[in-house]
Copies of this chain bind each other. A is one copy, B any other.
Amino acid sequence: MFTHSEENYLKAIYHLSQQQEGGVSTNSIADKMETKASSVTDMIKKLAEKQLVDYVKYQGVTLTKKGEKVAIKIVRKHRLWEVFLVEKLNFTWDEVHDVAEQLEHIKSEKLTAELDAFLEYPTEDPHGDPIPDKDGLIKKSKRVTLSEIEVDERCFCVGVHDSSSDFLQYLDNHNIRLGKKMKVISKEAFDGTMVVRLKKKELPLSSRITNNLYVKKI
């Protein structure tokens, strides 16, 4: 149905739309995909031809309903495969992304459906991101970043915003994983640095960290 590349663009546009309001700019797509703006313009035209995006020159793009459906299917497959890799094949949460980037393009309705069943219909991937169901519905949780938690409040880790290998390994090294409970001990007004208590150990976390860690209050 769609090429590898088309699917990657649709997914990138989808993710960017989630963060910003309104249309997605050519440059932001180029940045995310590590490609050049001119390549993006070319692809956008192709996607517009196929009615997957709405595009007005110089005005950015938005996904059409059809384009969004395709994007969500890719995201669904990506996250299901990530669960598979962690749950069944002993991958750690920092190892799954690159492989899932490949697996998300495998085309087989049956494969996706059976994988979903095999994993017992998971609702979140190893990074705490929601997995769209077979109809594309996404249950979004009311998570906040750790930086938004006040001093003396308690919370637990439910996901990460940045799922780069470096960041995930940093978290592993400090024993922070999904479900981990913590209490905010102090918060520096100047640069947002926080001290949190995990079990007994106190740990200082820069805003670089606290802005990328999703938690829920207890």
Known: A89-B118, A95-B110. 19 other contacts (CB 8 A): A85-B111, A88-B118, A89-B110, A89-B111, A89-B114, A89-B115, A90-B114, A91-B110, A91-B114, A98-B108, A99-B106, A99-B108, A99-B110, A99-B111, A102-B105, A102-B106, A102-B107, A102-B108, A103-B106
A98 to B106, CA, bound (A): 10
A65 to B213, CA, bound (A): 49
Interface size classification for chain A: 10 to 19
Which 7 A/B pairs are nearest by Cβ-Cβ distance? A89-B114, A99-B108, A102-B106, A99-B111, A90-B114, A89-B118, A88-B118
* Interface residues of A, Cβ cutoff 8 Å to B: 85, 88-91, 95, 98-99, 102-103, 105-108, 110-111, 114-115, 118
A57 to B105, CA, bound (A): 37
Copies of this chain, count: 2
A105 to B95, CA, bound (A): 18
Secondary structure type dominating chain A contacts: helix
11 contacts between A and B (CB under 8 A): A89-B110, A89-B111, A89-B114, A89-B115, A90-B114, A91-B114, A95-B110, A99-B106, A99-B111, A102-B107, A103-B106
Chain B residue with Cβ nearest A102: B106
A108 to B100, CA, bound (A): 10
Residues on B with C-beta less than 8 A from A90 are: 114
Residues on B with C-beta less than 8 A from A118 are: 88-89
Chain B's nearest CB lies how many Å from the CB of A142?
34
Residues on B with C-beta less than 8 A from A98 are: 108
Chain B residue with Cβ nearest A88: B118
Chain B residue with Cβ nearest A4: B4
Residues on B with C-beta less than 8 A from A114 are: 89-91
Residues on B with C-beta less than 8 A from A108 are: 98-99, 102
A198 to B115, CA, bound (A): 35
Chain B residue with Cβ nearest A99: B108
A97 to B1, CA, bound (A): 19
A127 to B158, CA, bound (A): 44
